[in-house]
């Protein structure tokens, strides 16, 4: 049975039992306590906590999930995956244990011909929480499962929570017995490889305040209702129903694995290590593709880092299979898009953008590998020079942290050099870093408490209507006031507050558009509003300071947006749409928006592109956009369905494909885009758009910054003034300036080179004289000399070598040149071969001189360099060297 069919059957079964089927939410969790959706219930957390009302009391989904805590286990076991799909049925205060257990049993055991999964009854086992007699009883008496196949387990296995504050509850899990060839008998408590968990039924009934570990958490309260959350692993079901050994060999991953084997010319099933790599690639390429499709871009933090790690591990494993410098990610991503495309058709539509991001990350990582290898070589040389046998933990950590070198790569390359790596030291440093990151994340987290306050406020406010598309001033009641995260009935002058109004003309930051600012006035007070945020959907929180008097909950208020600022922001937002269209026209559909920030008079726009955008393209886009302004196209906004909007070719931000009703903003016929932001009425209101330049902001993502309206004009006016000044200074007409400046720069460079040559010649000029003045110390010709201050170290060296070369080869020679290139002395010693045969060593002589200079130095026997801190001791240093040679041969 194909994966897509398993999902269809599951959803159909629950639809027939009164469930509303909801499409998968984005992998990017809306919940601030989570980076990525890691369970089917995540999008429903506010429903369980009673903060929001679900669209129906029974829902069913097939939800995309990513989990990475066990990333190192991927490919080594049969059941760990970073991407998986969770099939789930949910009840919000509707049915509970007595219904959900028989539902699950029914679907699993019903014959395939009858829409079920056709599992033989005697292959199924169940577990329940230690004292959950009720669930035990339902399994035994209602379903008829023999008591020997119902096992009781503790918190570790049979209590489920999100790993962070949120809902939780005891659970009952269903296991499938794969048979004696997979391990020993005795049910899931004996062997979880033979007995494979296929479905988890969670009885969500508690709200957890703090979660320290799986088994250590504080229960805050009972949830407002008794709920059901179930999760069935689609991939595990597919492994069983497709009769394969593990989840990497099912329909949706095996094709990737197979392609990787074909590309690297490795046969699957021959070598255990190669097999692990192939499975890692199959899993990770699929995960990477799904994350990129939902709008995640590789970066060094948060979900971007999760993605980067996954992609780099894929590339790394390809190299372990011998891919070398070959680039295979594009082809493998193609396969992933193809196999997942049946369930997620948007993958096919977005293929060019997905490729742009993944290809760019591959390029950047291959570059990292090259640079890192150079650093690695230095570390190896250093270790060997000190006769060490092991790279330090420090070096391994630096390679990992700064150059993105995975430790397994360092280990392997070190082994090739006959070296070990201080892994323990490396892990210690990693642990420190992890701790720091954790502390960081904790500081940023918003607990349950804060979010639930917003939930309560939203309930009181109903939905807070945004009036700001039509007006910038409105009357509204104050529904709630927060000070330091807690609700208060009144707030006085000087207090920093967060205010919730029943409706508002203020735009809350979102969709790349900055928040409005302004004033909220009541009969008794006035609040300056500096920021507006929407911590949960449908709620706007106005942040500011009470400037005067006091405000009270229940007050009637007048909300006034700072109109100038709003207009300037709206101009930027409309300009962003135009530039987006402009880049698509110029670069093709791969140029998709990856982020933006619309601020007053200025905006930045991030989009996917494989490499730098040539200046000529920037100019063309700017030109085209300004032409649109002159044509003064009408701006029009309307609501429609997601499907309709797509059919009209409306651009969505990359990864933005969720929700039913969408708002479309069109600018004449030129641009059409999904957008909740505010805009101008016609394109002429923008006045002027000036693109300032573009740069890279991460693999595969470019950023342009631009000015709009009067800010654009002022910028150009300033530039114009600058050109006028230059023209005046250089006495040249404007159009002659580039040529004139180029001429000046060329002449300057030539003059600098000539000067340099002259200086060297001067230094060398005295070489002959110095050679002639050599002193004889015990049969060795010795030259010591102090060059003029300011002579560079290179010239000192050149001079030493030049003088040395002027003696016959069989004459032992020592040359010692000192100088002060800056405020610190430098000495260079050169000894010829005949001198070295007499036991003279440049390194040692430099050591003698450097000591007198208050410093150190050394080096090879033939030429060496050193230095110190005391310029005034140069004469002493040269003398010390002569004395030392004299002593050696006396």
Contact flag: residue 13 with ligand SER (CB under 6 A): no
Contact flag: residue 50 with ligand SER (CB under 6 A): no
Contact status, residue 818 vs residue 827, Cβ threshold 8 Å? yes
CB of 518 to ligand SER, least distance (A): 43
Contact status, residue 193 vs residue 78, Cβ threshold 8 Å? yes
Q: Which part of the chain contacts ligand SER (CB under 6 A), choosing from 34-42, 179-187, 561-569, 829-837?
A: 34-42
Residues pairing with 161 in the sheet: 168
Which 8-state DSSP code applies to residue 142? I
The closest residue (CB) to ligand SER is 231
How many other C-beta atoms lie within 10 A of the C-beta of residue 526? 19
Cβ-based nearer residue to ligand SER, 230 or 791:
230
Contact status, residue 707 vs residue 602, Cβ threshold 8 Å? yes
Which 8-state DSSP code applies to residue 322? T
Sites for ligand SER among residues 639-668 (CB under 6 A): none
When binding is defined by CB under 6 A, the residue of 29, 39, 124, 820 that contacts ligand SER is 39
Q: Where are the alpha helices (DSSP H) in 594-691?
A: 615-630, 642-647
Q: Is 119 helix (H, G, I), strand (E, B) or coil?
A: coil
CB of 166 to ligand SER, least distance (A): 10
Q: Which part of the chain contacts ligand SER (CB under 6 A), choosing from 228-236, 326-334, 473-481, 597-605?
A: 228-236
Instruction: Give the Cα separation of 453 and 447 in Å (integer).
Output: 11
Q: Is 39 helix (H, G, I), strand (E, B) or coil?
A: coil
CB of 234 to ligand SER, least distance (A): 12
Would you give the binding string for ligand SER spanning residues 67-86, x where CB under 6 A is met?
A: -------------------x
Q: Could you tell me how far CA 202 lies from the centroid of its own chain? A: 32
CB of 571 to ligand SER, least distance (A): 46
Q: Which residue has the tokens 């300032």?
A: 692
When binding is defined by CB under 6 A, the residue of 43, 75, 88, 187 that contacts ligand SER is 88
Contact status, residue 830 vs residue 801, Cβ threshold 8 Å? yes
Angle between the 393-403 and 407-416 helix axes, to the nearest 10 degrees? 130
When binding is defined by CB under 6 A, the residue of 229, 498, 656, 673 that contacts ligand SER is 229
Cβ-based nearer residue to ligand SER, 200 or 865:
200
When binding is defined by CB under 6 A, the residue of 26, 227, 230, 608 that contacts ligand SER is 230
Contact status, residue 87 vs residue 10, Cβ threshold 8 Å? yes
Instruction: Give the Cα separation of 32 and 43 in Å (integer).
Output: 12
Contact flag: residue 170 with ligand SER (CB under 6 A): no
Total of residues contacting ligand SER (CB under 6 A): 11
When binding is defined by CB under 6 A, the residue of 11, 36, 41, 260 that contacts ligand SER is 41
Contact flag: residue 202 with ligand SER (CB under 6 A): yes
Cβ-based nearer residue to ligand SER, 228 or 476:
228
Contact flag: residue 40 with ligand SER (CB under 6 A): yes
Q: Which part of the chain contacts ligand SER (CB under 6 A), choosing from 226-234, 268-276, 307-315, 410-418?
A: 226-234
Contact flag: residue 357 with ligand SER (CB under 6 A): no
Contact flag: residue 351 with ligand SER (CB under 6 A): no
Contact flag: residue 60 with ligand SER (CB under 6 A): no
Contact status, residue 818 vs residue 787, Cβ threshold 8 Å? yes
Contact flag: residue 48 with ligand SER (CB under 6 A): no
Label the pairing between strands 150-153 and 124-129: parallel
Cβ-based nearer residue to ligand SER, 90 or 268:
90
Q: Which part of the chain contacts ligand SER (CB under 6 A), choosing from 35-43, 345-353, 589-597, 690-698?
A: 35-43
Contact flag: residue 678 with ligand SER (CB under 6 A): no
Structure token digits, residue 179: 């048979």
Q: Is 98 helix (H, G, I), strand (E, B) or coil?
A: helix
Contact flag: residue 200 with ligand SER (CB under 6 A): yes
Query: Which of 39, 82, 1 lies closest to 200, judged by CA?
Result: 39
Q: Where are the alpha helices (DSSP H) in 773-811?
A: 793-805
CB of 157 to ligand SER, least distance (A): 11
Contact flag: residue 591 with ligand SER (CB under 6 A): no
CB of 229 to ligand SER, least distance (A): 5
Contact status, residue 139 vs residue 128, Cβ threshold 8 Å? yes
Q: Which residue has the tokens 């060296």?
A: 797
CB of 472 to ligand SER, least distance (A): 45
Residues contacting 654, CB < 8 A, separation 6+: 295, 350, 353, 592, 593, 594, 608
What spatial distance separates the first Cα and last Cα of the chain, rounded to whole Å? Answer: 96
Contact flag: residue 231 with ligand SER (CB under 6 A): yes
Contact flag: residue 160 with ligand SER (CB under 6 A): yes
Contact status, residue 538 vs residue 510, Cβ threshold 8 Å? no
CB of 19 to ligand SER, least distance (A): 14
Contact status, residue 48 vs residue 227, Cβ threshold 8 Å? yes
CB of 224 to ligand SER, least distance (A): 19
Q: Residues in the site for ligand SER, rule: CB under 6 A?
A: 39-41, 86, 88, 160, 200, 202, 229-231
């Amino acid at each position: 049975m194909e994966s897509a069919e398993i999902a269809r059957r599951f959803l159909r079964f629950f639809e027939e039992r009164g469930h509303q089927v909801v499409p998968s939410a984005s992998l990017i969790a809306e919940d601030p306590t989570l980076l990525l959706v890691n369970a089917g219930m995540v999008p429903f957390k506010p429903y369980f906590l009673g903060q929001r009302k679900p669209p129906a009391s029974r829902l069913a989904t097939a939800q995309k999930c990513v989990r990475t805590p066990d990333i190192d286990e991927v490919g080594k076991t049969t059941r760990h995956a970073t991407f998986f799909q969770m099939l789930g049925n949910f009840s919000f205060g509707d049915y509970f244990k007595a219904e959900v257990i028989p539902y699950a049993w029914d679907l699993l055991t019903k014959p395939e011909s009858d829409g079920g999964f056709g599992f033989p009854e005697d292959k199924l086992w169940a577990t329940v929480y230690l004292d959950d007699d009720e669930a035990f009883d339902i399994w035994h008496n209602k379903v008829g499962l023999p008591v020997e196949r119902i096992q009781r387990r503790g918190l570790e296995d049979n209590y489920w929570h999100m790993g962070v504050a949120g809902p939780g509850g005891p659970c009952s899990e269903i296991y499938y017995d794969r048979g004696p060839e997979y391990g020993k008998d005795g049910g899931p408590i004996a062997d979880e490889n033979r007995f494979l968990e296929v479905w988890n039924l969670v009885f969500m009934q508690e709200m957890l305040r703090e979660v320290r570990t799986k088994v250590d958490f504080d229960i805050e309260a009972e949830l407002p209702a008794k709920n059901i959350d179930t999760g069935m692993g689609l991939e595990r079901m597919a492994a069983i129903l497709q009769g394969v050994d593990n989840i990497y060999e099912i329909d949706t991953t095996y094709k990737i694995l197979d392609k990787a084997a074909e590309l690297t010319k490795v046969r699957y099933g021959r070598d255990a290590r190669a097999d692990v790599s192939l499975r890692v690639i199959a899993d990770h390429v699929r995960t990477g593709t799904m994350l990129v499709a939902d709008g995640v871009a590789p970066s060094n933090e948060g979900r971007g880092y999760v993605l980067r790690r996954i992609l780099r591990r894929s590339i790394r494993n390809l190299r372990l299979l011998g891919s070398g410098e070959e680039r295979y990610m594009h082809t493998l991503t193609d396969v992933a898009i193809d196999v997942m495309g049946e369930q997620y058709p948007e993958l096919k539509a977005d293929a060019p953008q997905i490729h742009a991001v993944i290809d760019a990350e591959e390029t950047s990582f291959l570059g990292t590998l090259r640079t890192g290898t150079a650093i690695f070589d230095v570390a190896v040389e250093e270790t060997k020079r000190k006769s060490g046998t092991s790279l330090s933990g420090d070096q391994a950590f630096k390679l990992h942290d700064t150059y993105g070198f995975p430790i397994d790569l360092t280990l392997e390359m070190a082994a090739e050099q006959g070296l070990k790596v201080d892994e323990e030291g490396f892990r210690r440093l990693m642990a420190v870093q992890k701790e720091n990151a954790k502390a960081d994340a904790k500081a940023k987290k918003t607990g349950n408490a804060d979010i639930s306050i917003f939930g309560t406020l939203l309930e009181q406010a109903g939905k807070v209507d945004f009036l700001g598309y039509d007006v910038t001033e409105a009357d509204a009641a104050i529904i709630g006031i927060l000070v330091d995260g807690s609700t208060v009935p009144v707030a006085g002058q000087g207090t920093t507050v967060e205010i919730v109004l029943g409706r508002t003309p203020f735009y809350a930051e979102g969709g790349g558009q900055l928040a409005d600012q302004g004033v909220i006035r009541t009969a008794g007070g006035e609040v300056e509003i500096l920021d507006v945020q929407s911590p949960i959907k449908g709620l706007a929180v106005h942040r500011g300071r009470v400037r005067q008097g006091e405000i009270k909950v229940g007050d009637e208020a007048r909300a006034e947006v700072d109109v100038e600022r709003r207009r300037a922001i709206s101009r930027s937002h409309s300009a962003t749409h135009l530039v987006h269209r402009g880049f698509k026209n110029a670069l093709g559909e791969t140029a998709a928006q990856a982020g933006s920030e619309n601020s007053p008079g200025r905006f930045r726009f991030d989009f996917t592109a494989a490499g730098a955008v040539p200046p000529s393209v920037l100019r063309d886009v700017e030109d085209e956009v300004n032409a649109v302004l002159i044509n003064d196209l009408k701006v029009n906004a309307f609501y429609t369905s997601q499907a309709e909007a797509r059919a009209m070719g409306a651009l969505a931000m990359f990864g933005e494909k969720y929700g039913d009703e969408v708002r479309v903003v069109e600018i004449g016929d030129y641009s059409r885009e999904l957008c909740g932001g505010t805009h101008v009425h016609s394109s002429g209101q923008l006045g002027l758009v000036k693109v300032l330049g573009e740069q890279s902001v991460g693999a595969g993502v470019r950023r342009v910054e631009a000015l709009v309206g009067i800010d654009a004009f002022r910028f150009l006016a300033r530039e114009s003034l600058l050109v006028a000044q230059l023209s005046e200074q250089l006495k040249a007409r404007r159009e002659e300036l580039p040529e004139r400046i180029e001429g000046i720069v060329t002449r300057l460079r030539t003059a600098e080179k000539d000067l340099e040559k002259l200086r060297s010649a001067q230094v060398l000029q005295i070489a002959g004289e110095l050679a002639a003045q050599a002193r004889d110390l015990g049969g060795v010709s010795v030259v010591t000399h102090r060059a003029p201050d300011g002579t560079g170290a290179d010239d000192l060296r050149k001079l030493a070598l030049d003088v040395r070369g002027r003696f016959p080869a069989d004459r032992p020679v020592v040359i010692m040149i000192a100088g002060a290139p800056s405020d610190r002395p430098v000495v260079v010693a050169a000894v010829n071969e005949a001198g070295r045969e007499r036991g003279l060593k440049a390194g040692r002589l430099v050591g003698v001189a450097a000591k007198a200079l208050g410093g150190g130095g050394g080096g090879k026997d033939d030429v060496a360099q050193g230095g110190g801190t005391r310029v005034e001791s140069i004469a002493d240093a040269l003398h010390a060297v002569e004395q030392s040679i004299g002593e050696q041969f006396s």
